[in-house]
Amino acid sequence: MSDFPKDIFTEPSDVDVDTLNNLGPLRHMAGIWQGTRGLDIKPKADGPRKQAFVERIELQPVDPVTNGPQLFYGLRYHTHVTKPDQVKSYHDQVGYWLWEPATGTVIQTLAIPRGQIAMAVGHASADARSFELVARRGDQSYGICSNPFLEYAFKTVEYRIEVKIHADGTWEYDEDTVMMIKGQEEAFHHRDRNVLMRIAEATPNPLARR
| Residue 134 located in a structural domain | yes
- CATH number, domain at 86? 2.40.128.20
| Residue 11 located in a structural domain | no
| Residue 102 located in a structural domain | yes
Q: Which long-range contacts (CB under 8 A, 24 or more apart) does 45-52 make?
A: 48/188, 51/83, 51/90, 52/83, 52/84
| Residue 32 located in a structural domain | yes
Q: What is the pLDDT of residue 111?
A: 98
CB 98 within 8 A of CB 111: no
| Residue 107 located in a structural domain | yes
Which parts of 13-166 are beta strand (E)? 31-42, 49-67, 70-82, 89-100, 105-112, 116-123, 130-136, 144-146, 154-165
CA distances from 66 to 12, 17, 153, 180 (A): 8, 12, 38, 37
Reported confidence tier of residue 1, pLDDT bands at 50, 70, 90: very low
Quote the number of domains for the chain. Answer: 1
Q: What is the pLDDT of residue 3?
A: 84
| Residue 205 located in a structural domain | no
From CA 20, how far away is CA 73, in angstroms rounded?
Answer: 8
Q: What is the pLDDT of residues 31-90, one digit of tens each?
A: 999 999 999 999 999 999 999 999 999 999 999 999 999 999 999 999 999 999 999 999
Q: What is the pLDDT of residue 46?
A: 93
Residue 44 burial (CB < 10 Å; 0-12/13-18/19+)? exposed
| Residue 52 located in a structural domain | yes
Residue 193 domain boundaries? 19-197
Who has greater pLDDT, 3 or 33?
A: 33
DSSP state of 13: S
Q: What is the pLDDT of residues 156-193, one digit of tens each?
A: 999 999 999 999 999 999 999 999 999 999 999 999 99
Strand pairing partners for 49?
42
| Residue 53 located in a structural domain | yes
Q: Percent of the chain beyond pLDDT 90? A: 98
CA distances from 72 to 2, 32, 49, 96, 170 (A): 20, 21, 39, 11, 24
CA distances from 118 to 19, 135, 195, 210 (A): 24, 7, 22, 33
